[in-house]
Amino acid sequence: MEIPDKILFVCTNQRDPQWGKESCGDHGSSAIAEAFRRALKMRRVEGVSLRSTASGCLGPCTQGPHAVVMPDNIWYSGFSLEDVDEIVVSHMLGGKPVVRLQSAPPLDSNVVEEV
Ligand code: FES
């Protein structure tokens, strides 16, 4: 199995409204995950392995959607479909995180250890 140079996890968790807790699915994260997949496929670069994948809850939940780029441990929150290309081009391909969309890694998350 090929290990990607970078992989972006997009939370697509959708909670039942009865739980009374916000989730990334409330912010269109499934469409965003698909947009990342398509954007990376369109911009394939020889010798660079980049992937995105939908994930379960990453921890922060509110003010989503949330995504994290590994192994950089750079988190993005509250972005939209319109921001997908910028994250792909600037960060995934160019190595420059999109500072205006970044958020701090959640302190109560153990995602880094699980990856
Ligand atoms: S529901 Fe997306 S981070 Fe928890």
What is the per-residue pLDDT across 38-52, written as a single tens digit (0 to 9) for each? 999 999 988 899 999
* Residue among 11, 12, 53, 62 whose CB has most ligand 1 atoms within 8 A, to mutate: 11
Give the 3-state secondary structure percentages of the chain, helix then strand then coil, rounded to 5: 35, 20, 45
pLDDT in tens, 73-85: 999 999 999 999 9
Å from CA of 52 to ligand 1 middle:
16
Q: Is residue 111 part of a domain?
A: no
Give 4's DSSP letter.
P
Average pLDDT over all residues of the chain: 92
Residue 14 three-state SS? coil
* Nearest CA residue ID for atom 4, ligand 1: 61
Q: Where are the alpha helices (DSSP H) in the chain?
A: 29-42, 84-86, 111-114
Q: Is residue 112 part of a domain?
A: no
Contacts of 82 by beta carbon, 8 Å cutoff, 6+ apart: none
113 falls within a domain: no
Indicate the pLDDT class of residue 108, thresholds 50, 70 and 90: low
Over 80: is that where the pLDDT of 18 sits? yes
- Domain range for residue 59? 6-106
In a domain, 30, yes or no: yes
Residue among 24, 27, 26 nearest 12 (CA): 24
Give the total number of structural domains in the chain. 1
pLDDT surpasses 50 at 25: yes
- CATH (domain of 30): 3.40.30.10
Cα 45 to middle of ligand 1, angstroms: 30
pTM: 0.89
